[in-house]
Chains A and B, each alone.
Chain A
Amino acid sequence: GEDVEQSLFLSVREGDSSVINCTYTDSSSTYLYWYKQEPGAGLQLLTYIFSNMDMKQDQRLTVLLNKKDKHLSLRIADTQTGDSAIYFCAESMGGGADGLTFGKGTHLIIQP
């Protein structure tokens, strides 16, 4: 069955880079996503990567995909206090009718 794994916590200093890792098991995933969850708010799509891509960069965010190892990472450059949240990795077979399979989420803690 499908399974998505993430570490539960990551602590970084303000200004440093944060790297959040995720592994998945379903090699037929079409899209892989990173969602951000802040207290009291719905999950917000941060970025996504199509399965035939290796890397995607969007301002401070860099997504790396190693399809052979089924490993996905999210790098946040120059981490700020406003980046403090829970980050979820998710996968989908693609198509608008598919539910997403989520990891348990990584709680990013920013130290001053």
Chain B
Amino acid sequence: NAGVMQNPRHLVRRRGQEARLRCSPMKGHSHVYWYRQLPEEGLKFMVYLQKENIIDESGMPKERFSAEFPKEGPSILRIQQVVRGDSAAYFCASSPQEGYGYTFGSGTRLTVV
């Protein structure tokens, strides 16, 4: 069981570029959650998805950020036109059912230069 796989581990983007972060949930998990961790801050909820559906995106910034979890393939968190303030660690978690058995990935550290 490979666990939750996130890639890339580190991503450097220039201001204005797009960042794509990928998350493959654990085998058997159909619920995916994205969190952002800023320096010296706790993890902040961004979005909760099930296959092909966004269940709760109340933590997502209204502009430039989007997420998907297609029927086939990993979940993608996309940040368009990145700015320096987007620099953070982005963690993905998955679970077999809502509210139970969260497992986190190792995160993607995004640096915007």
A binds B: no
B residues at A contact (CB < 8 Å):
none
